[in-house]
Amino acid sequence: MPKDRAPTRIQKKNRAAILEAALNVFSAHGFRGATVDQIATEAGLSKPNLLYYFPSKEAIHTALLSGLLEIWLAPLHDLDADGDPMEEILAYIRRKLQMSRDLPRESRLFANELVQGAPRIHESLSNDLKTLVDEKKAILTQWMDQGKIARLHPYHLIFSIWALTQHYADFDVQVRAILGDEDPFDGAEPFIDTLYRKLLTP
């Protein structure tokens, strides 16, 4: 295990390669389905070498998840109480959809975890996520009280955004099986935009 001085050039490179490889493997096979050997090979290292940088398979997974949670929640974080309600929400949706397009592996990493009951991030859900959502719920409720957007159940409104946007990353195979050559996001963006304009107009 490297000492905890400033990381050397090699340490930086290998840690990054491991996390990148682990993202590929974990998102494609889930925690249990991924093997350390597979991650090591994909990172261009031998298994013992990989375990020199991370103490265990679990540690890699944890490092990945906690590093990504922040990125994952960022779009919601940016929802601004002082902006124009409709535009704020639509911008949030666009950011979320963009993430499904640009970071599908990350999306599937979380999806894998959630579908199986989130054994390794249950706590973060009840704390970080719940706190953030409640904060934004207050903003949404305020906008509804002011008549600026339609009155809806704020939690379910948020769920719907998550569901609609992440669906395209998480169930990519299914979407492509039906769309064929058509680019999923080309159709999804205007569809979802229309949907929320209609839904949110008071």
Partner DNA sequence: TCTTGATTTGACCATCTGGTCAAACTCACG
Partner DNA sequence: CGTGAGTTTGACCAGATGGTCAAATCAAGA
Applying CB under 8 A, which residues contact its own copies?
Answer: 28-33, 108, 111-112, 114-118, 122, 125-126, 129-130, 133, 152-153, 155-160, 162-164, 166-168, 170-171, 173-175, 177-179, 182, 187-188, 190-192, 194-195, 198-199
| Nearest residue (CB) to DNA, 61 versus 136 | 61
Q: Which stretch binds DNA (CB under 7 A): 49-57, 62-70, 90-98, 191-199?
A: 49-57
Among 16, 56, 74, 147, the residue binding DNA under the rule CB under 7 A is 56
Q: Which stretch binds DNA (CB under 7 A): 35-43, 67-75, 76-84, 109-117?
A: 35-43
Question: 3-class secondary structure for the chain?
Answer: CCCCCCCCHHHHHHHHHHHHHHHHHHHHHHHHHCCHHHHHHHHCCCHHHHHHHCCCHHHHHHHHHHHHHHHHHHHHHCCCCCCCHHHHHHHHHHHHHHHHHHCHHHHHHHHHHHHCCCCCCHHHHHHHHHHHHHHHHHHHHHHHHCCCCCCCCHHHHHHHHHHHHHHHHHCHHHHHHHHCCCCHHHHHHHHHHHHHHHHHCC
Q: Which stretch binds DNA (CB under 7 A): 33-41, 76-84, 135-143, 192-200?
A: 33-41
